[in-house]
């Protein structure tokens, strides 16, 4: 999980895309952890979905695999619901 989170942060930083990272394992982030568990897609997932999960406000966007596919297909801005740079 840690390597996936680091990869996501490296890609977003490299593209200059601002983001809010929430460490759901830290005390005080129980509400965010429950939100992720309740709203993340559970298809083909046994147990709780693992980070990283992606949300735009409260809209669920996808998981790490979805993010990676968007990066590979050069659709990262679309995936994150952002206007592409000109």
Q: Is residue 70 part of a domain?
A: yes
Per-residue pLDDT tens for 20-41?
999 999 999 999 999 999 999 7
Can you give the CATH number for the domain in which 32 is found? Answer: 3.40.30.10
- As for how many domains the chain has, the answer is 1
Which H or E run contains 30? helix 30-39
pLDDT at 45 exceeding the cut of 80: no
Q: Is residue 84 part of a domain?
A: no
The Cα–Cα gap between 74 and 48 comes to 29
Q: Is residue 29 part of a domain?
A: yes
The Cα–Cα gap between 3 and 1 comes to 6
Q: Is residue 45 part of a domain?
A: yes
Q: Is residue 14 part of a domain?
A: yes
The Cα–Cα gap between 22 and 8 comes to 13
Q: Which of 74, 52, 73, 71 is nearest to 62 (CA)?
A: 52
How many angstroms from the chain centroid is the CA of residue 85? Answer: 20
Q: What is the mean pLDDT of the chain?
A: 93
What is the residue range of 40's domain? 2-79
């Amino acid at each position: 999980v840690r390597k996936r989170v680091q990869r996501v942060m490296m890609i977003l930083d490299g593209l200059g895309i601002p983001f809010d990272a929430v460490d759901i394992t830290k005390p005080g982030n129980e509400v965010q952890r429950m939100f992720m568990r309740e709203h993340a897609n559970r298809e083909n997932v046994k147990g709780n979905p693992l980070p990283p999960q992606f949300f735009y406000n409260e809209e669920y966007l996808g998981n790490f695999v979805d993010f990676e596919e968007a990066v590979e297909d050069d659709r990262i801005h679309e995936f994150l619901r952002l206007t592409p740079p000109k």
